[in-house]
Structure 1
Amino acid sequence: MMATADALGNEWSQPYHVFGPGEGKLRQNAIRRTGDYRIDEKEWKTHTQETDKFLDNVTARIQENTAKFSEELSLGPGYVRQASARQGLKIHSPNEFDIIVPIRIKGIDFEQSKVRNGDGNVVAGYHKQRVMNRNVSSTHPRLTHSGVFQRQDGNLYLNAKNLHEKVWTGAVDKALDCVKKGMSDCEIVRRVHPPTVNVQVTSLSTGNVTNFDIVPGVLLSTENIQIPSKITGKGVWNVQLPIYAVPKQANKNSPSFREADRPLPFRMDTSSHERCMADLCRGMKERQYIMTANRILKAGIEDLKKQNNPLAKAINSYHLKTIAYRVVYDQTMRGTPCKLTGVKDALGAQITELRKCLEKRYLPDFFLGNKALEEIFPGSMLNRYHRQHNLFWKTHPQLLLNALRHGFAQLLDFLGGLFTCVGGC
C-alpha cells in the first residue's frame, strides 16, 4: 500500500548560491561579472513578508467579491506560490512574485477535450473543459448568466474567456480598488494577459517596483505520486500534486486555434510538477550547482538585453529554467554517475544545451510530451501527453538564427572563465 502522500511546501524559496569545492574564486568572479546577481538574505525576508501581507489582503478581497457565486464556486484555501520566487531562481532583486488562486466549481464534472488547429492537428498543452453535468442553468444560474458555459457541437464547455473576464478580472478589480485605499503611498496598476492579471505596485517614496502575477486555476484533480529513490537521491517521496487548468483564451493573432474555439482553451498548468522538481533539486549538491549556474546564466542574458543582443530577445527565463531541468535529469536522474563537480561544470552543461537547442531551433518543454516524466512522476496525468511541445514555436526563425550566429558569441565572452566547455560549447 502506498504511504500517505504529503502536500508540497508553499513558501517562497531563498535563491540558490551553492558552489563546489575549490570554487571560491569562481564565486567571486561570477558575482563581479554579473554585477552581483545575489539577493541579500535580509532583503529577501523583508520583501517576501511584505509580499505575503499584500497578497493575503488582495486574495481576501477577491474572496469577498466572488461571494455572489459562493453557492456555485469557491476559491482557495489561500493561494499557491509558484515560478522563480518559489523555485529559488530569482536574481538581483525580489521584485516579482507569481501565484495561483485555486477555483473549485462546485458539483461540476469535467472531461478534457482536445483542442485542434485549423489543419486538424492537436494543439499541445491545451484543452477544452467539457462539462458532463446536465441542467447547469438551474444548478449554476449565476455562472450561466455570466456566460461561463458555452454549447458547441452538441456539447457543453467551460468558456475560458468569460470565466476570466466576467468572474475573475472583475473580482480582482474590485479587490484592488479596496486595497488602494489603504496604500496611498503606492501607485497600483493592473494589466491583463490571460491567464494572468498582473498587478504592478510602485512605492512613491522609494520608487521600488514589484510585480505580482495572479492566476486563477480551476482545480481538476489532485494526484498522488510515488517518486522513486533513483530520482530523489534518498528515499521514496509520496507527494500530492494538484492539477489546475488555467484560462488561456486564444490570442486573435495566433494561427493555432480555430475561430470557434478561441474563447474556450485552457492551458494544463504544470506548476505543481515544477515546484516538485525545484524541491528535488534542494536535496542534492550537484542539482544545487545546476540551479546556481542557472541564475548566473540568467544574469548573463539579462546583461545582454542592455546591448540589444538577439540571444537576449529570443531567450526568456522559462526557457533557461527548462534547460536547467533537462540538465538535472540528464546528469543526476538517469542512473549514470554525475560528472558535475561544481558550478563551472554545471554552467558549461547548460550553455552546451542552449547551443544545441538554438541549432535545432527546438527547445522541448520539459513538462509536456517528455518521456522522462514517467520516470520522475510515475503515473502522472502529464504522461498522457505524447506530443512534444516546442517552446520556440512563437519565436521567428531568423531571430533564432541571429541568436546563434551573433548573440551566442557575446554570451560566451561575457561568461568566459566561469564555465567548463563541453562538446565545443
Structure 2
Amino acid sequence: MASSTHNNWVYPEDHFASNEQSLKFEICERIGIWNFSHDDWKRGCFIADDVLSIILNDLRNQARLHFEGLEIQSDFIRQASARQGMKIIAPDEFDAVIPFTIKGLVLQEVRLRDISDHYLPGQIRLRVENVAQIDRYPSLKKAGVFEMNSGICFINAKALQEQVFKSLMDKAFYVQSLAPKPLDTSNIYYVKRGSRPPTIELNIQHDILGCANVDFVPALVLDTEIISIPRGVLSAPFDTPFIFQRFGLMKWVNKERENQCIDENDRNLIWRSCSSSYEKFMFDLCEVSEERLYIRTACRIMKTVVKILYQHQNQAAVLLSSYHLKTVAMYCILLLTVPTNLTLPGYRLSGVSEALGYFLLFLESALEKKVLPDFFLGNEHLDEIFPGSYFSKIRIKYNLFDKETPELVNMAIFSFPVFKKVLAGCFDTANLDLTVVNFFRDRILIL
C-alpha cells in the first residue's frame, strides 16, 4: 500500500511537445522568464527546512511543558506550489502543514449550517464526545479551547489558534532568543511572525542565504482513509490503494464580510476540512502522464501571466489566485486525461499550446458565469479519481469567487481579454475537443 504522496519539495520542470521547441522562447519574450536556477532552489528549500525544523522542535518542547495532551508531530508536511512542482520566478515562498492531535480526546465532525439553515461545504465544527475528560486538559481549558454551545462542547478554533499556537510560537521564539549566539554570526536567522488564520506567517532572513516566507499551518489530524485509485488514472495494470490523511484547519471567522451568513454563536468554532493531501496527489499524477505535464507547464505559464499583469493593476489578475489556476489545472487533468466517456475516442492533448487554449477558455467561461467551483467540494466526478473518498461524498458545491467582492469579479470579466492578447499566437483553440469545453461551461460551472 502506498502513501498518498512523498514529502519533498519538488523542483519545477517545464515539459513541451517535441514540435514546440520554439514556443517556450516565444512565451518568455512575452512575459519574461519564469524559471530559476537549481542553486537558488536549493538555498530556498534549505532556509525553509532549517527554520521549520528548529521552530518545530521548540514548539513540541513548549507544548509538552504547557499544554497537557497536545501532541505535535515531529515532522512537517510540505505542500502547495513548492511541493507540487509549480513555483515560478523565485523560490522564496513555502507552505507547511504541522499535524497535531489532542491525545485521548474523542471528537466528532459536525457539518456547519449558515443562518439560513444551509450546509456550508467543507466547513465543520468539532464536537467533544467524551466531555467528562476535558478536566484532564486544564491548560487548554483555561485557554478557552472547550466551549459550550447549546449544551454541547465544541473545540473553539479561535482560542486554539490565538491562545495556544500563537503562545507556543512566541515561547519558542523567546527560547531561541536566550540561546547562546554562535561565534559565526553568519549562521543566524532573523524571523518575524505574522498571522493570517489559519496560517502563522514566518518571514525569514539570512545575511548570506537570502530570505524566504513560510506559511506555517497547524492542522488537526481528523482521519486517515485508504482509497483505491483506478488503474486508468495511474496508467497502471491494477487499481492501487493509497493512504490519505485529512486535516482540520482552524478557519474561524475573522473578516467582517464573512460574518453575514454565519451564526454569531458559531463564528469561533469553524474548521475547514483540508484537501491538501488529495491536491498534492493530483499534481503527482503529472509525473505518470506526458499530457498532464503539458497541463502543469501551462498552469505555471498562466501563474506568470497573472503575476505580470497584477503589477499593471489588471483586475482579472488581481482576482485570480494561484489556487484558482491550480483548480482549473485539476479540472483539465480530470476532463482531459482521466478515462471517461467524455472525451472523443483516442483524443490526446498534443502539447502546451492546446493546454493553454483550454486554460484560457475555461477561465473565460468561469469569469463570464462568475462561478469557479472548488475541485474537491461538490464535484460529482471526483469518484473518477478518488472513489468512495470523504470529499467525493460532499454534494454541495462551493464557488471560489464567493470570497471576492462582486465588483472585483465584474471588473475581472472586462480585464480578461488582455490575457489572450499577451499570449496571442502561443495558444491553440482551433483543435480543442469542444465536448470538453462545453461540458466544463455547461455542467461544471453550475452551482
Same fold (TM over 0.5): yes
Task: Please tell me whether the aligned partners of residues 16 and 291 of structure 1 are also in contact (alpha carbons under 8 angstroms).
Answer: no
Identity among equivalent positions (%) equals 33
One-letter code aligned to 1:387:
I
Q: TM-score, normalised by structure 1?
A: 0.94
Aligned residue number for residue 46 of structure 1: 43
**RMSD (Å), alpha carbons:** 1.9
The answer to whether structure 1 residue 200 and structure 2 residue 203 are counterparts is yes
On the 8 A contact 1:332/1:338 being kept in 2, the answer is no
2:47/2:212 contact within 8 Å kept: no
Cα distance between partner residues in 1 of 2:4 and 2:416? 41
The amino acid that maps onto 1:121 is: H
Aligned residue for 2:293, secondary structure, equals helix
Correspondence for 1:215 among 211, 214, 217: 217
Cα distance 1:25–1:178, how it changes in 2: closer, same or farther (>3 A)?
farther
Shift of 1:65: 1.4
Alignment of 1:1-400 (within 5 A): 4-69=1-66, 71-179=68-176, 186-203=189-206, 208-235=210-237, 236-253=239-256, 254=258, 255-335=260-340, 336=343, 337-400=346-409
Give 1:418's aligned residue. 426
Deviation at 1:76, TM superposition (A): 0.9
Pairwise CA distance, 1:7: 4.7
> 1: distance between equivalents of 2:202 and 2:9?
18
Q: Confirm or deny: 8 A CA contact 2:67 2:139 kept in the other structure.
A: no
Matched residue SS, 1:259: coil
- Distance in 1 (CA, whole Å) between partners of 2:288 and 2:175 is 42
Q: In 2, are the aligned partners of 1:195 and 1:246 still within 8 Å (CA)?
A: yes
Q: Deviations over 1:152-201 (max 9, x none)?
A: 11111111011111111111122234446657865422111111000112
CA distance in 2, matches of 1:188, 1:140: 31
Question: Could you tell me how far apart the structure 2 residues matched to 1:6 and 1:299 are?
Answer: 31
CA–CA separation in structure 2 for the residues paired with 1:77 and 1:383: 30
- Residues 4-63 of structure 1 show CA distances to partners (whole Å, capped at 9, x for unaligned) of 343520000111311111111001112332220012122212321232111111111111
Contact in 1 for aligned 2:377/2:394 (Cα 8 Å): yes
Distance 1:419 1:16 in 2: 20
Whole-angstrom distance in 2 between the partners of 1:177 and 1:309: 43
Deviations 1:66-94 (A, max 9, x none): 11256412111311000110011110000
Q: Is the 2:131–2:153 Cα contact (8 Å) retained in structure 1?
A: no
The alpha carbon displacement at 1:394 in A equals 2.0
Q: Deviations over 1:87-114 (max 9, x none)?
A: 1111000010001110111112211112
Q: Distance in 1 between matches of 2:311 and 2:36?
A: 21
CA distance in 1, matches of 2:283, 2:176: 32
Segments of 5+ residues of structure 1 without an aligned counterpart are none
Tell me the SS of whatever aligns to 2:22: helix
Deviation track 1:232-290 (CA, whole Å, cap 9, x = no partner) reads 12243321111110111112411231111111000110001011111111111100000
Letter in 2 for 1:376: I
Once residues 46 and 228 of structure 2 are traced to their aligned partners in structure 1, the CA distance between those partners, rounded to angstroms, is 33
Aligned-pair CA distance for 1:302: 0.6
TM-score by length of structure 2 reads 0.90
Q: CA deviation at 1:373?
A: 1.4
Paired residue total? 420
Counterparts in 2 of 1:416 and 1:258: CA distance versus 1, 3 Å: same
Is the CA contact (8 Å cut-off) linking 1:136 and 1:144 kept in structure 2? no
- Alpha-carbon deviations, 1:304-324, whole Å to 9, x = none? 011111111111110000001
Shift of 1:204: 5.0
Instruction: Specify the code of the residue in structure 2 equivalent to 1:362.
Output: V
The one-letter amino acid paired with 2:15 is V
CA distance in 1, matches of 2:7, 2:176: 24
Structure-2 change in CA distance of 1:50 and 1:202 (3 Å): closer
Return 225-234 or 328-337, whichever deviates more: 328-337
